[in-house]
Structure 1
Amino acid sequence: MRSVTEEYLLMEKDPVFGAIMPKIRRDKIWKVFKPRERFTQIRKKARDYLELLLLEAVDRLRDNCSIPSGAIGVGGSILVGMHNPSVSDINLIIYGCKPTLDIALCEDLGLDRLNPETLRERVVRHSRRTGLSPDTLLRIQPHFRNLELKGRPLGISFVKTISERYGERVLKQMGQVEVIAEVEGGECYSLTYPSRASVVRVKKIVRKSPSITEETLRMREEITEILSFDSIFSYALFRGGEVRIKGVLERVSPDGTYLILVGGYGERSYVVPVS
């Protein structure tokens, strides 16, 4: 699989996002799978135990959190029909701001938390990647992540339905920065991919790379947004309040503001609550 992946997956600096990102050439794409259409197919006729289990999970979310069927899609191996009913995970996709917030604010999803041993293994992997301690990562995980149903791991992803045209904003990399900032909180786009959160104000510049000038630092009131490509930090952004952010400072054109990009390839980055 790795050799096949290397044939079509490229790692290049993106001229719009100003960071190294994975890309797939258009001539390597032979089919586009649609998550909501696939869910509709399964709802009409489930073919195996895993698809029946998926429908049970959806029923629980609908009953407990009032999620409409039209806002639900499926991902992962079930989406492409390559799943193994005995071992494959369940991956649900939720579309739109209101359903996203309904799940985030729903106290009881009707689903179980992932067993502690498996959760710990996941957190340890993320710890190696981010440089944060497992305990810190466990602290920022919400109740709607790392779930299971009848022993089968289950994940929920969120997708915004309002798209942004590629190239509408262009980011220019300024350098690494670490700040303490107050983040708005409660924004549904903090939970979608990539996560976006509004900065109320930057309280302190903790450290910066030499490429960032003092003149740029004086413009810190123009840092208006956090953009994260690492979903493990999305809930910290959604909760808002005072957070410590390490990432890449990017200048946004054409409006001349700045944002901090988290989760790009290269040096480690993170978003963690200060308290």
Structure 2
Amino acid sequence: MNRRDVKQPALISLPDRVRDRDVFHDKDGRVYVTLGYIQPASRILSFFKYAPHPDGKWVSGERRYERIFWGGGASASEGMTKAPDDYLVFDDHFGVELLEVPRDDVDKYFSPEIRLREILEEGAKDPLENSVGEMAETLHDTLGIPLERLGVTGSIVWKAHDPSFSDINMNIYGFEDAWHLQNSYDEVAEQNSHMRLRELHEWERTMSRVVARIPVLPVEDMKTLFTRRKGLLCRERSIGVMPILLPDEAPIMHGSESYTTLTPSPVRVKMEVTSEKYGLFLPAIYEGSSRPLDILGGDQVSRILLYEGSFRGLIREGDKVEVSGIIQRVTPTRNREEIFYQLMVGSKVGAGKEFIRLVSNT
């Protein structure tokens, strides 16, 4: 087994408030990724991504790892069965059992921003790191996005990547900068000869994986949504950039609401979307309204809460959509707001059956 440099300047103390898509290890070397901005105070809601394994493809230092999580709710649920039993807890906010690692069990926590700074200051050690640095500098030079608002995550952040098969996953932090990038992809491609937009046919593999996970979703509906998806290639290498809210920007704090599931399996509801303000982030929020529903005694669904990341950022204000999801009653716990109803897309019980698709105006 090849030895690798285990210098890890991106290691930081566990922050008081974690962010979506941060990477950390527990005391037994298992690797997790934080899941969303709704985070409990004493634990970290996350998914189990890599486990130590003598025959694993991923290598960091002298340790090998196998990949556990491959995307989607079913894979996340499978990962829960491989995590320690005491990491599975009933979450009063979400009303279900979730994988939440105790903060006391976190052994290593990585900063994507510091890892990016290491690459920029010390120089790239391989082609993937070179692409990371070039992408960051291009976004900074073209759009004025501060370098400290960018980071690199995934296996690169903890130096387990391999240029022969690893992807590049970057983050952009902050509501304003995330939307600035979302609205400026064309500008980045037009002003830089080494950059271009990802074309629809280049999303085929991604769309195929989504349809395989959600077989009830027609392929053509998936393609219609993906005509809106934004992505960049840097010298023909695809680089994903995930929008991440800062902790004080989160529109929902853990414990500020509680969710009660009203339907044991997904139902289909048509809605008109009135706000996409938080549609870029995870969980994505789309405000809107359905028709009065008999199951709710004539009340309407007014929010979509989306944990299925494949649909993040693809819905617009004014869209008419059909949503397949779990209907939940939302009870605010810290103010006097009235209860309301939402559709949860990306639940454990609805894995493989939950989606959003555009419908005609008629």
Report TM bin, short chain.
0.7 to 0.9
**Secondary structure in 2 matching 1:31:** strand
The superposition leaves residues 165-220 of structure 1 with CA deviations (integer Å, 9 ceiling, x where unpaired) of 32111111111332111112441x11011101111x21365xxxxxxxx3624111
**Secondary structure in 2 matching 1:250:** strand
CA distance in structure 2 between the partners assigned to 1:229 and 1:79 by the alignment:
23
Deviation at 1:13, TM superposition (A): 5.2
Conserved? CA contact 2:93–2:257, under 8 Å: yes
Question: Equivalent residue for 1:69?
Answer: 147
CA distance in structure 1 between the partners assigned to 2:321 and 2:117 by the alignment:
40
Question: Equivalent residue for 1:210?
Answer: none
Change (3 A) 1:38 1:2: closer
Change (3 A) 1:218 1:117: closer
Of the candidates 210, 235, 241, which is equivalent to residue 156 of structure 1? 241
Deviation at 1:3, TM superposition (A): 7.9
Question: Equivalent residue for 2:110?
Answer: 33
Deviation at 1:125, TM superposition (A): 1.4
CA distance in structure 1 between the partners assigned to 2:275 and 2:121 by the alignment:
38
The superposition leaves residues 213-261 of structure 1 with CA deviations (integer Å, 9 ceiling, x where unpaired) of x3624111xx321100011112233455211111111111124111111
CA distance in structure 2 between the partners assigned to 1:246 and 1:139 by the alignment:
17
TM-score (norm 1): 0.83
CA distance in structure 1 between the partners assigned to 2:214 and 2:176 by the alignment:
31
The reply to whether residue 108 of structure 1 matches residue 193 of structure 2 is no
**Secondary structure in 1 matching 2:238:** strand
Structure with more helix by fraction: 1
Conserved? CA contact 1:66–1:102, under 8 Å: no
Counterpart residue identity of residue 357, structure 2:
V
CA distance in structure 2 between the partners assigned to 1:100 and 1:149 by the alignment:
19
Counterpart residue identity of residue 257, structure 1:
F
The reply to whether residue 259 of structure 1 matches residue 345 of structure 2 is no
Question: Equivalent residue for 2:218?
Answer: 133
| Count of residue correspondences | 262
Conserved? CA contact 1:8–1:28, under 8 Å: no
Change (3 A) 1:253 1:30: same
- Structure 1: 5+ residue runs without aligned partners? 206-213
CA distance in structure 2 between the partners assigned to 1:216 and 1:39 by the alignment:
49
Identity of aligned residues (%): 23
Deviation at 1:68, TM superposition (A): 2.1
The reply to whether residue 235 of structure 1 matches residue 313 of structure 2 is yes
Question: Equivalent residue for 1:16?
Answer: 93
Deviation at 1:86, TM superposition (A): 4.0
Query: 5 Å matches for 1:208-247?
Result: 214=294, 216-220=296-300, 223-247=301-325
Change (3 A) 1:7 1:265: closer
CA-atom RMSD in angstroms: 2.6
Of the candidates 158, 167, 173, which is equivalent to residue 89 of structure 1? 167
Conserved? CA contact 1:18–1:250, under 8 Å: no
Deviation at 1:80, TM superposition (A): 1.1
Change (3 A) 1:228 1:240: farther
TM-score (norm 2): 0.65
Conserved? CA contact 2:169–2:240, under 8 Å: yes
- Structure 2: 5+ residue runs without aligned partners? 1-49, 54-67, 69-81, 190-194
The reply to whether residue 45 of structure 1 matches residue 125 of structure 2 is no
CA distance in structure 2 between the partners assigned to 1:87 and 1:70 by the alignment:
27
Question: Equivalent residue for 1:190?
Answer: 279
